[in-house]
Amino acid sequence: MKALVVYDSAYGNTRQVAEAIVAGLGPQAQAVSVTDFQATALTEGDLLVVGSPINGWRPTPKITELLSSLGDGRLAGVKAAAFDTRVRLFIHGDAARKMTESLKAGGAEIISKPMPFYVKGSEGPLRSGELDKAAAWAADLLKRVGG
């Protein structure tokens, strides 16, 4: 089983979460910036984790474009989960849920609820404990993929 954690990140916070997830998933995992991602790198049984900051209540345009390109069953046989980074506001919108729906539309088997991680302000930093939360989430994902 190979695991790819694909992310977009303007200020580095989502990248940090992606890297903490990769560290938790172990040596078969790799963090990949959205601009470098190749869908052909995934085969049956692999894990795809997608992460984006919430920008205006939704994932970034690059992540949205990537996920649209994976529609029509291109993710059949792949296990998947999504996370976002966001500020803790009364109304913050959602990106992880939308990404999870797109992954499902692409035919992936969703193995986790959408996961939010919190930053203190638009440029960060991450709130304390969020990288530990990322490591714990990675351990949970590993159990669910049977790794």
Ligand X SMILES: Cc1cc2nc3c(=O)[nH]c(=O)nc-3n(C[C@H](O)[C@H](O)[C@H](O)COP(=O)(O)O)c2cc1C
- Looking at the Cβ atoms of 114 and 124, the one nearer to ligand X is 124
Query: Helices H, strands E: what count in the chain?
Result: 4, 6
Cα 31 from Cα 12, distance rounded (Å): 13
- Nearest-approach distance from CB 144 to ligand X, in angstroms: 25
- Looking at the Cβ atoms of 13 and 100, the one nearer to ligand X is 13
Close Cβ partners of 142 (under 8 Å, ≥ 6 residues apart): 24, 25, 26
- Looking at the Cβ atoms of 62 and 74, the one nearer to ligand X is 62
State the CB neighbour count (10 A cutoff) for residue 142.
18
Which one-letter DSSP state was computed for residue 126?
B
- Looking at the Cβ atoms of 135 and 145, the one nearer to ligand X is 135
Q: Which residue has the tokens 């506001």?
A: 89
**Encoded tokens for 41:** 């790198």
- Nearest-approach distance from CB 108 to ligand X, in angstroms: 23
- Nearest-approach distance from CB 25 to ligand X, in angstroms: 19
Q: What residue ranges bind ligand X (CB under 6 A)?
A: 9-14, 53-57, 85-87, 89, 92-93, 119, 122, 124
- Nearest-approach distance from CB 5 to ligand X, in angstroms: 13
Contact of 58 with 52, CB cutoff 8 Å: no
